[in-house]
Amino acid sequence: MNVPGAPPAPSVHWSRSLRVRLLAVTLAGVAVAMVLAGLVLSGLFREHVQQQFQAALQLQLDQITARLEFDAQGQPVIAAEALSDPRWLKPYSGLYWQVDAMAPDGRERAGVLRSRSLWDTSLALQVDALADGAVHVHEMPGPQGAPLLVLERTVRAEGVHAPRWRLMVAADLQVTQAATARFTGVLALSLAVLLVLLAAAAWAQVAVGLKPLQALQRAVQDVQEARASQLQGSLPAEVQPLVDDFNAVLRRHGEVVERARTQAGNLAHALKTPLTVLDNAASVQPPTDEQELAALVREQVVVARRHIDWHLARSRVAASAHLPGQRTALQPVVEGLVRVMNKVHADRALDITVAPPPVPLFFAGEAQDLQEMLGNLLDNACKWARSAVRLQAQLLPAGSETAQPQLVVAVEDDGPGIDAAQRAQALERGVRLDETVPGTGLGLAIVQDLAALYGGRLDLEPAGLGGLRATLTLPAANAH
């Protein structure tokens, strides 16, 4: 499916196709399995036929041995009519027997007795070191070049010095070879048909298995063409986690866009008031006292700059919050802020004390954001304190309420404090509870907003020193 007006999708090389890869791997595995199965089954069948053929030939050798007799001169005699198989009498029937004389010096006299089926030929089997009664198996060419399976054994007439005789029984192997060839051909054809069926099944499996990806592609196109805000549709359990993660990214993107729009609107609204004041002051004819106008301009510029700094800080935190690997040591930031506050409020001789934590503490965020939050809290405490400001920090381990450790920093002063009814109002942007104290009314609001972006919070409560206690809770980072 192509988007109207969009350029055609680029062709995908076959090596990058998931369908081709799955089919290629499946077909290669099935083909190898079919070949191995064919070789094993053909070998087993050949071995089975060979064993059956040899067992039948062993019975024939036992029959020949049982019918072997010796005359008065010690010569072997086998009555042809005593043998039950008519193939012994048919020339070149494929079933043969033969008796050879074994001389003491190792030489032999072949074909002393032989079956009529051998006609005018004899079996020329090499001399073999054979114990009495033992059976050896050989393959050799026989009459008319036919391959034969030969079983041989030696026997001895009664008496210690009686001569030894070798009995041989041979059968044509062409019958077994033809049976094996027929079985191998049928087996190969069957395995080929099976391979085709398995290939069709693999293609159907891949087509059915990858079909949900087409639904996923359509869902992505719906999002791209603004027909849906998130991926929708019934997808397999293996794909659903990917869809959930992608939808989470879309939600996060939507939140960032909405937050950017809200911050732009808030910034425009916040700058509108000081710009209006400056415009009205500049429009007065004749101009008022120059010192009064200069003070007004400076005041409004400070307000405008404070608003800009606030929104820039929110934008920076919104972009960097929850990024992995961020860690800021608490102690260096606090020590630097205390030095600044001692210089800024040197004329008031405030006693700013910091209770050292038992272990080093770390904030899971950027140092600039931690300085912004703690700086506002310390500055606010110093403005309202009569003589003392105290800061202490602790680490709350992860538990049932929080999934990760929490860094808790408390800043309190001995000032007049804030009534319970006014604490929520003090956290609103631009609200100043006492106009006699310099400020813009943004300090606590900035701290609350920045903490919320990190998943933390700011709580106001009465302090043990008698003034206000501001407790800042932020995500903590591991010390290692």
Mean pLDDT of all residues belonging to the chain = 79
At residue 271, the pLDDT reads: 64
Lowest-pLDDT range, 159-168, 172-181, 256-265, 395-404?
Answer: 256-265
Structure-block tokens of residue 348: 């008031």
Distance CA 135, CA 153 (A): 5
Domain coordinates in residue numbering, the chain: 68-172, 254-320, 328-475
Residue 334 identity (one-letter amino acid): V
Distance CA 344, CA 348 (A): 9
Structure-block tokens of residue 184: 């191998």
Structure-block tokens of residue 244: 């959930």
How many residues are there in the chain? 480
Mean pLDDT of 70-86: 79
pLDDT band at 435 (very low <50, low <70, confident <90, very high): very low
- The tens digit of pLDDT for each residue in 340-373 reads 999 888 888 889 999 988 889 999 888 888 988 8
Radius of gyration from C-alpha coordinates of the chain? 52
Q: Which residue has the higher pLDDT, 250 or 39?
A: 39
C-beta separation of 476 from 364 below 8 A: yes
Residue 311 pLDDT > 70 = no
Mean pLDDT of 145-163: 80
Lowest-pLDDT range, 112-121, 146-155, 303-312?
Answer: 303-312
Residue 150 pLDDT > 60 = yes
Residue 197 pLDDT > 90 = yes
Q: Which CATH architecture describes the domain 328-475? A: 2-Layer Sandwich (3.30)
- Per-residue b or e along 71-99, where b marks 16 or more CB atoms closer than 10 Å to that residue's CB: eeeeebebeeeebeeebbeeebbbbbbbb
Mean pLDDT of 12-39: 84
pLDDT band at 274 (very low <50, low <70, confident <90, very high): low
Residue 259 pLDDT > 70 = no
In the chain, the percentage of residues whose pLDDT exceeds 70 is 74
Residue 65 pLDDT > 70 = yes
| Highest-confidence segment of 49-63, 78-92, 156-170 | 49-63
Lowest-pLDDT range, 21-35, 49-63, 123-137, 203-217?
Answer: 123-137
Q: Long-range contacts for 57-61 (Cβ within 8 Å, ≥24 apart)?
A: 57/149, 57/151, 57/169, 57/170, 57/171, 58/135, 58/151, 60/85, 60/95, 60/97, 60/169, 60/171, 61/135, 61/151, 61/153, 61/167, 61/169
At residue 224, the pLDDT reads: 77
Strands (E), 356-456: 362-363, 388-396, 406-413
pLDDT band at 51 (very low <50, low <70, confident <90, very high): very high
Distance CA 303, CA 307 (A): 6
Peptide bond into 324 cis (omega under 30): no
